[in-house]
Structure 1
Amino acid sequence: MTTGTYLEIDGRPALRFVRDYPHPPERVWEAVTDPTELAAWFPARVAFPGRGAPTAGGEVRYSFDTDGDGGTGTVVVHEPPHRLTLTWAVDELRLVLEGRHDGGCRLTFTALLGERDTAARTAAGWEVCLEALDAALAGSPVGGPGSGPTPAWRRHYEDYVSTGVPSGAPVPGA
């Protein structure tokens, strides 16, 4: 089952995912900003050189096999524990946490994309990543998303394509 929505923001292709958690924003904030916790769900290792934590205007380093081989980005917005925006290559990743009346919170994750034809591919990837975040926050970490297309990724990709989400970009590792 897919949970993302394709949309355009200021003429730019984007994906939006919404998740509700029984945890307060501060707990989920740690899961989405602490490099150790990011390892449980984010598709690359994340480092914030200098301070070790995100700061507005600071650098973000993404790594897969070797330090920095995933490129760098910038922390555009850092408003703990509610808003974090990072750049990664041509994409912009926006995470917004809103407290709920029951003590939990809602995470709205929006990925602004550089290219329209990457939407289905990227949506499937973030779907797998967010499932790993769900598991980690539930206390049952699955070890982070792997590299390359997994059966779960393929299932999500096919679902997104079948619903008309733009596709056509090459799939790395396929």
Structure 2
Amino acid sequence: MAADLTGTCLTLDDGRPAVRFSRTYDHPIERVWQFVTDAEELAHWFPSRAEIDPRPGGTITFSGDPNMPEATGRVLGLDEPRHLSFEWGGDELHFDLEALGGRRTRFTLTNVLQAADTAARNGAGWEVCLAALDTKARGERSAGPHAGASAAWKEFYEGYVEAGVPSGAPVPGLD
């Protein structure tokens, strides 16, 4: 069975490659903002534990990812509760939230890539992470982003490669 791919590979206006995902959650924007900025909420779906100093230029400490060493990043932009962007491992992550009618929120994640050949790898990883966030947003329990063999990462990766998304970058924990 082919993976249901939800990401889009694109080139930003400034020429940088990116992958983008969008979801709509049945929560007010303030609740979705917690999913994106609170370390305890992030732990349910983000690949690393992220402790954020929530101010432009603030430090983010990443730890706990079994496939990556501990690292730090910098907050690039913050407009609570609508936008957070930060550096992570040479990439940039942009979280944009838009309040919709009926206490719903559109969540958009844009991963600005340091190298185009990471698009399929990162896209597959975000599929797994966002599936964990979707589960959390529904109020259900999830095994989280490191669900091991039960995570469909490889299926998503192969789907992105078959769709012609740039690939070939090493995979942490596998290469």
Q: TM-score, normalised by structure 1?
A: 0.91
What is the aligned partner in structure 1 of residue 35 from structure 2?
31
- 1:45 correspondence with 2:49: yes
Paired with 2:10 and 2:65, the residues of 1 have a C-alpha distance of: 32
Paired letter, 1:13: P
What is the aligned partner in structure 2 of residue 2 from structure 1?
5
Paired letter, 1:86: F
- 4+ runs deviating over 6 angstroms: none
8 Å contact kept, 1:128–1:153? yes
Give the superposition deviation at 1:69. Answer: 3.2
DSSP-derived class of the 2:155 partner: helix
Paired with 2:62 and 2:24, the residues of 1 have a C-alpha distance of: 27
* Residue segments in structure 1 that go unaligned for 5+ positions in a row: none
What is the aligned partner in structure 1 of residue 132 from structure 2?
132
Paired with 1:107 and 1:163, the residues of 2 have a C-alpha distance of: 24
Give the superposition deviation at 1:102. Answer: 2.3
Q: What are the within-5 Å matches in structure 2 for residues 6-21 of structure 1?
A: 6-9=9-12, 10-21=14-25
DSSP-derived class of the 1:125 partner: helix
Q: CA RMSD in A?
A: 1.8
Q: How many residues align?
A: 169
8 Å contact kept, 1:7–1:14? yes
Q: What are the within-5 Å matches in structure 2 for residues 1-174 of structure 1?
A: 1-9=4-12, 10-48=14-52, 53-64=53-64, 69-146=69-146, 151-174=151-174
* Residue-by-residue CA offset, 1:54-80 (whole Å, 9 max, x unaligned): 2221000111269x9331101111111
Identity %: 50
Q: TM-score, normalised by structure 2?
A: 0.90
Paired with 1:60 and 1:151, the residues of 2 have a C-alpha distance of: 26
* Residue segments in structure 2 that go unaligned for 5+ positions in a row: none
Give the superposition deviation at 1:116. Answer: 0.6
Paired letter, 2:19: L
* Residue-by-residue CA offset, 1:99-131 (whole Å, 9 max, x unaligned): 112220100110000011111000000110011
Paired with 2:8 and 2:126, the residues of 1 have a C-alpha distance of: 12
Give the superposition deviation at 1:141. Answer: 2.7
8 Å contact kept, 1:6–1:16? yes
Give the superposition deviation at 1:151. Answer: 4.7
DSSP-derived class of the 2:93 partner: strand
